[in-house]
Amino acid sequence: MTQEFFSTSGLSHVNESGEVQMVDVSGKTATVRMAIAGGQMRMQPATLDAILAGNAPKGDIIATAKLAGIMAAKQTAQLIPLCHPLPLQKIQVEIEPDRQLPGYQIVATVKTTAETGVEMEALTAVSIAALTLYDMAKALDKAIAIESIHLIEKTGGKSGHYSAVP
């Protein structure tokens, strides 16, 4: 890698003088990039039951949280400093009940053809979907916990394929 992409510190967003910088991706080739991120919401069993029964005070929590996740992925560059704005071709947010937690599993898949990856967009989608779910259900359970937001998989780009699952 050239100095343009990695400074002496090894961090791509820090230049040789230690100043923050937006990475110059103009010399990179646009390729298909995909990222999947996940997270979970842990809550009281009664809270999960109320949401599943449609008895939440603010309406359809799951549909609203999915929409919030999609909208957030599209705004990632405005939320995270130095993040490149990207033309996103696919954003999918899945929120599934998990009685074992108890709570919900959240998974976001984001895809584009661009010079840089969509990991931040997928992670942002999961984060904001979780925060929205919390906001809409906090009247039922203020102890809901947002946990384990992480990158599950990514494809495309110079670094290639990554999977958290062996």
Please name the residues in contact with 87: beta carbons below 8 A apart, sequence gap of 6 or more.
Answer: 112, 113, 114
Contact 86, 75 (CB under 8 A): no
Residue 138, Cβ neighbours under 10 Å: how many? 14
Cα distance between residue 77 and residue 93, in whole Å: 18
Cα distance between residue 107 and residue 149, in whole Å: 9
Cα distance between residue 144 and residue 71, in whole Å: 23
Cα distance between residue 39 and residue 22, in whole Å: 28
Residues with catalytic annotation? 135
DSSP 136: H
